[in-house]
Amino acid sequence: MKTLIKRVLASTLVLISCSYLVPVNAVASSETTRTDGGVHVIVEKTRAEIDQEFATKFEQLQAAFENSRTVRGPQYVYSYDYFDHETSFVEGYAGNQEFSGYRFPGGGGFLYSESGGPSVSFNVDMQLPSPFDFISLSTNLGSRSTSSGIYVPVPNTVDYFLLYVEKELEVAPYAVYRKRSGAANTEWELYSVGGVVVDTYASYYAKKVK
């Protein structure tokens, strides 16, 4: 950590760009009963699935920087630092829903899709000196589907409901440094910071409209 701070302080700090990668679909699910008679549909990934997703996204991240080199202009080499993983929680209503909610007089429920939906922001601490000690990231809450997705039953046929989403996220903060390729005595500069985001747990349920 002391080496990292020393390198940051010795660097020429440039514009920070915060990056995140969109989570992939999860398919395994289970159900738990709520006190109001409703049902939580729960999707939880295994540790092996989470680690594999991080590995894939780290490769994509590094490839994006390495492939950003231009034919003309200065050439750079890049170095990557990954910090301790953190956990964040987000929640809210899925997208593609009427404000008044939906009633299912014949029974049934919602279909949930991870695609689209409202964006929710959250902050993550960085193990770097101020003003680079935290970053703001965002993730989508998904949306109500009319064709396919995760089935979320409603607790009754009388009330109006909206599809609600709760997510637990694991975030791997990172810092990217660069220096001129082939230039003697060139110091590393802090080029970009961000976080790789993986959904680890999600709960979907029908929330009664008040």
pLDDT tens-digit readout, 48-75:
999 999 999 999 999 999 888 777 778 8
Output phi, psi for 174, to 5 deg.
-145, 160
Q: Categorise residue 60: left if φ over 0, alpha if ψ from -120 to 50, beta otherwise.
A: alpha
Say if CB 192 and CB 20 are below 8 A apart. Answer: no
Phi, psi of 116 (to 5 degrees): 65, -150
Question: First vs last Cα of the chain: how many Å apart?
Answer: 50
Domain boundaries, the chain: 19-75+83-173+193-208
Cα Dmax for the chain:
74
Is the pTM above the cut of 0.85? no
Q: Which of 4-13, 109-118, 180-189, 198-207 has the lowest mean pLDDT?
A: 4-13
94 vs 141: CA distance, rounded Å? 6
H or E segment to which residue 190 belongs: strand 189-208
| Per-residue pLDDT at 85 | 94
